[in-house]
Homo-oligomer: A and B are copies of this chain.
Amino acid sequence: MKNFPSSISRMIDAFASLPGIGEKTATRLVFHLVRSPENLARELGEAATSLKKDLRLCACCRNIATSEQCEICEDAERDASQICVVEEALDVLAFEKAGAWKGSYHVLHGVLNPLEGIGPESLTIVDLLRRVERGGVAEIILAMNPSVEGEATASYITKQLQPFQIKITRIARGLPTGSELSYADEVTLAAAMKGRRDF
């Protein structure tokens, strides 16, 4: 086997284009498919082909949806006056799984990153401003990741929202539950100390 059959190397390339999957893992996965019954590869193929057919972005919060608005924006029991701004649709999922939020969301689909050419126009910031302009928004929670890009994006959005005079908050930084203080990095410890609250 000096060269792979072309159908195998094509599948290896497809897997290896996914994040976190290198050529070695991709090869293992493909040989697993080759060894497995026919329908496993076919199911994967059909699922991938039809993945994006019914998907669109919610007209309101830009989350992934199957109709004009996503389930959360359509849900009358959710508090539309509070908007939690997140980087990715996956972050919405994390909050929903935790049951930690009963307001609405806004999905940016990325963070500002000038080095990679991602400016405000690549994100859904303009949609967020339009939501605020329409009125009825009391609080914006900036829930971007605690990274350099996340902080920069939070600062940018805060500046854009200044004319509206609404409450703007940032999710808390500190020690994750169940962690050990002695293993925490300095930036986390400093943030935990700075954010201390009455007990």
Contact = CB atoms under 8 A, between A and B. Distances in A.
A54 B7 contact: yes
Contact of A7 (B2, B7, B44, B55): B55
Total copies of this chain within the assembly: 2
A172 interface: no
A14 B40 CA distance: 8
A45 B34 contact: no
B42 A89 contact: no
B17 A52 contact: no
A34 B55 contact: yes
Interface of A: 1-3, 5-8, 10-11, 13-15, 17-21, 25, 27-35, 38, 40-55, 63-66, 70-72, 88-90, 92-93, 96, 109
Contacts of A14: 43-44, 47-48
A93 B42 CA distance: 25
Nearest to A72: B1
Given A33-B51, A45-B49, 11 more contacts: A6-B54, A8-B55, A11-B47, A11-B51, A21-B29, A34-B52, A34-B64, A34-B89, A41-B51, A44-B44, A49-B49
Contacts of A41: 48-49, 51-52
Contacts of A18: 29, 32-33
B32 A19 contact: yes
A123 B90 CA distance: 43
A89 to B, nearest CB: 6
A51 B35 CA distance: 11
A6 B17 CA distance: 24
Contact of A17 (B11, B40, B42, B88): B40
